[in-house]
Amino acid sequence: MNESLIIFQFAVATFCLFVGSVLYSMGGYRGKWKRRFLGSLILAGGFNAICAWRGVWAPWQILAWGITIGAFCLPYGAKSLVPKILKRSAVVAAMCLTGVLFAIQHGGNAWWVLIPHAGMGAWSVYLGVKNPIQARAEEGFVCILLSLGLFMYPFS
């Protein structure tokens, strides 16, 4: 595949990641449907479109939308530290499930992508628990960390 096309595909993937993460953040304070359904549709739809464009799409990958909806519907807040970490870790595990399924289907380097995908998910747990930045920005960055790996798999 020519390198200019790969760069363009990356740009489209990044755009989908950006739009999905903005909707995730917007749904954090009003209109949860923006996060749960629209943001997840943009993210999972973008993942599926990039996979199809790159010739690595499989029908089961449509499940990415359902998995992402489920992950975005999981509760993640708590009053104390341990329950908050556990709840946010469940969201990470749900988001990494699509990566596991992709790696099972395609193998090879996809398994190596799963490592940073899980690592970025762990970083999202830290951001969500510590809240070192303003909430609206933090939620967008959490979504980027949760979803970035998703867009790396088609390129593996």
Q: Where are the domains of the chain?
A: 3-155
In terms of Cα–Cα distance, which of 45, 67, 35 is closest to 151? 45
Distance CA 112, CA 154 (A): 12
Query: Which residues lie below 8 Å from residue 76, measured CB to CB, with a gap of 6+?
Result: 84, 87, 88, 90, 91, 128
pLDDT average, residue stretch 131-147 = 92
pTM for this entry: 0.93
Model confidence over 16-68: pLDDT tens digits?
999 999 999 999 888 999 999 999 999 999 999 999 999 999 999 999 999 99
Q: How confident is the model at residue 116 (pLDDT cuts 50, 70, 90)?
A: very high
